[in-house]
Amino acid sequence: MSVGLQRLRDDAPAIRQGAIDKGEDPSIVDAALAADVRRRELLAEGDRLKAERNTASKSIGEAIRAGADANGPETAALKARSTEAGERIAAIDAELATVEATVDDLLLRIPNPADLDVPIGGEEANVTIREWGAQLPRIQPLSGEVGADALPDAPSWERRAHWDVAAGLGIFDLERGAKIAGSGFPVYRGLGSALQRALISWFLDVHTRENGFTEIWPPAVVNAASARGTGQIPDKEDQMYVVGRDDLYLVPTAEVPVTNLHRDEIFEATELPVRYAAYSPCFRREAGAAGKDTRGILRVHQFDKVEMVLFERPEASAAALEWMTGRAEDLLQRLGLAYRVLLMATREMGFTQGRKYDIEVWAPGVERWLEVSSCSNFRDYQARRMAVRYRPEPGGRPELVHTLNGSGLALPRVVAAIIETFQNPDGSVVVPDVLQPYLGRAELRPPG
RNA sequence: GGAGAGGUGGCAGAGCGGUCGAAUGCGGCGGUCUUGAAAACCGCAGAGGGUGCAAGCCUUCCCUGGGUUCGAAUCCCAGCCUCUCCGCCA
């Protein structure tokens, strides 16, 4: 935490501006700085008194060993000196404890400044930096060319939304999901369930066999220290499901348990980078999002995701973010889904990120771009909270690592895009080539 | 859930309430020796914070949090975790 203070002292204007750019309160920076001044005053005085007490206590021990009476008058004088120092130490430590709690709390509320080249602003300031694939129209001719070449009066068909197609196929059961758990807890059945497994397996297979990730299967709950480490507490606390009785949090993403794997640890430089790929269910309360995307599976309280998590040397993290984003894009290309990559503007980023790319797939049935991946470089922000360090040189001083993570990929919207992109006029859906071995079939059709 | 044992540095493992940030072994780093390596020998080696240009000095940390004491790794209390046995159970 105090490495953060160091940066705060050295670079307060940039941190302040970073908070403003992200739409956060910059006055917290000054409050933290002021509290830090008081903290150091108390620390200096407390340390001085502790040194005094230590020497006094030590001389008591020496006197006794030299033959003095442990309860005699000469030791009593020494004890009085030590006791007096002890009382003042107690008072100072008490104030120090409250001041440090204040500093820690304030530090947790100062956001990570965005990289200097990140556009400043809200959604309108996001920059599309890449697009891939054809953005299919909702209405298209039954045969022949798609697009401008199509004849105006030719017979056409209309793509349906994924929930309509899924209803025909019998692969979702949203109503019964609502009955047994609540709205936003989808049930997948039959080939819908198999499609979930297929996607998870294929994603993990690509990451582990081709991309060099180590697979992790994490717990679905974490403790408060882990939630704080990755920044869910205090920033996004109300987005998490809490198991109050046991003081546990349902994970909103595998990022939380997997990044915390190395909390309070020191890597050797030769161990980096560390690359993990982890499947987990993800639980999100989506508080404040009521009424948005209520149809289908575009916004749900529980979904499945494969997450990529990297621990990197600072000088390598920028390139690692590009690489990791590329790994997520590769999955979409091999599925045959059109997508675009956005560099997110400052107010569209989270509290903890230095740079973030969102990847959105085109869903031609609902005619919308759907976010399926978010790839971020946290630089040393999470590492500081979690005390994850590495030794640049053997035997050298530890320094903070950089952490990154990105979805690779989140399932529901990929499923929606697959259904809407590869649906046929008769209601069947073609299975992408890469998934056919996992599903054991080339298309989804209604049973019977 | 019940009963017992235990949590010390990268690992293993000592540690009468004062001289313990902590013996010893392994591992690590540097060196001697060697054509090179191994072995042997010598030496260095924890983390955080404060202060200082720096060398350094001071301070905290022996699971966590309280307490007793002039002084706690060592004593007391609570919690967490691990192991063994019993019970229950996918």
CA of A119 to C1' of B75 (A): 61
- C1' of nucleotide B71: residue with nearest CA: A57
Q: A441: Cβ under 7 Å from strand B? A: no
**In angstroms, how far is B41 C1' from A403 CA?**
44
Distance A91 CA to B17 C1' (A): 25
- Amino acid A37 CA to nucleotide B29 C1' distance, rounded Å: 39
- Nucleic acid strand B: bases within 7 A of protein CB: 18-19, 28-29, 45, 47-51, 58-60, 66, 70-71
- Asked if A303 and A286 touch (Cβ cutoff 8 Å), the reply is no
Say how far A55 CA is from B57 C1', in Å.
Answer: 15
Residue A2's pLDDT is what? 38
Q: Which nucleotide is nearest to A1 (CA to C1')?
A: B48
Query: Which nucleotide comes closest to A81 if you measure CA to C1'?
Result: B70
Is the distance between the Cβ of A56 and the closest atom of strand B smaller than 7 Å? yes
Q: Is the CB of A2 under 7 A from strand B?
A: yes
Neighbouring residues of A304: CB distance < 8 A, sequence distance ≥ 6: A196, A200, A279, A280, A281, A282, A410, A411, A412
Shared domain check, A327 and A404:
yes
**Is any atom of nucleic acid chain B found less than 7 Å from the CB of residue A53?**
yes
A77 with A143, same domain: the answer is: no
pLDDT score, position A246: 82
Strand B: which of residues 257-286 in chain A lie with Cβ below 7 A? 266
Task: Measure CA to C1' and name the residue nearest B10.
Answer: A266
- Provide the β-strand partners of residue A250: A221
A5 touches strand B (CB under 7 A): yes
Phi, then psi, of A72 in degrees rounded to 5:
-80, 180
Do A324 and A440 have their domain in common? yes
In this complex, the answer to whether residue A82 has its CB under 7 A from any atom of chain B, a nucleic strand, is: yes
| Closest nucleotide to A85, Cα to C1' | B70
Shared domain check, A168 and A91: no
Distance A54 CA to B20 C1' (A): 14
Structural domain of A415: 123-444
Do A300 and A343 lie in one domain? The reply is: yes
Residue A116 lies in a domain: no
Q: Which residues of A are catalytic?
A: 284, 299, 371, 374, 413
- A261 with A388, same domain: the answer is yes
- Same domain as A233, residue A147: yes
Looking at A76, A108, A140, the residue that finishes a domain is A108
Tokens representing residue A15 in the block: 């941190």
Read off the pTM. 0.91
- Among residues A62, A78, A108, the one where a domain terminates is A108
**A101: burial class by Cβ within 10 Å (0-12, 13-18, 19+)?**
exposed
Residue A222 and residue A345 in one domain: yes
Answer yes or no: is A443 CB < 7 A from strand B. Answer: no
Coil, strand or helix at A48: helix
Residues A45 and A133 in one domain: no
Distance from residue A68 (CA) to nucleotide B50 (C1'), in Å?
A: 36
Residue A439 CA, nucleotide B5 C1', distance (Å): 52
ipTM of the complex: 0.87
Number of domains in chain A: 2
The domain spanning residue A47 has which CATH number?
1.10.287.40
Identify any residues that bridge with A306 across adjacent strands, giving them in sequence order.
Answer: A279
Give which of A116, A347, A99, A385 is closest to A234, Cα–Cα. A385
A48 closest-nt by C1' vs CA: B58
Nucleic chain B: which protein residues 111-170 of A have CB below 7 A from it? none
Distance CA A148, CA A292 (A): 33
pLDDT at A116: 94
Q: A246 and A376, same structural domain?
A: yes
Q: Is A219 (CB) below 7 Å from strand B?
A: no
Asked if A179 and A31 sit in the same domain, the reply is no
Phi, psi of A228 (to 5 degrees): -75, -40
Are A104 and A145 in the same domain? no
CA of A44 to C1' of B57 (A): 13
**Distance (Å, whole) CA A81 – CA A155:** 99
Counts for chain A of helices (H) and strands (E), in that order: 13, 18
Q: Could you check: is the Cβ of residue A383 within 7 Å of any atom of nucleic acid strand B?
A: no
Q: What is the pLDDT along chain A (448 residues), one digit of tens a residue?
A: 334 788 888 889 999 999 999 999 999 999 999 999 999 999 999 999 999 999 888 888 888 877 777 777 778 888 888 888 888 998 899 899 889 989 988 988 899 999 999 999 999 999 999 999 999 999 888 876 555 555 667 788 899 999 999 999 999 999 999 999 999 999 999 999 999 999 999 999 999 999 999 999 999 999 988 998 888 887 788 899 998 878 889 999 999 999 999 999 999 888 889 999 999 999 999 877 766 777 889 999 999 999 999 999 999 999 999 999 999 999 999 999 999 999 999 999 988 999 999 999 999 999 999 999 999 999 999 999 899 999 888 778 889 999 999 999 999 999 999 999 999 999 999 999 999 999 999 999 987 6
Residue where a domain terminates, one of A47, A78, A108: A108
Place of tokens 């790929």: A277
The reply to whether A51 Cβ lies less than 7 angstroms from strand B is yes
Query: Quick check: A3 CB within 7 A of strand B?
Result: yes
Helices (H), ranges, A109-216: 162-169, 174-180, 191-209
Residue A59 contacts strand B, CB under 7 A:
no
Token pair of A332, please?
């979409």
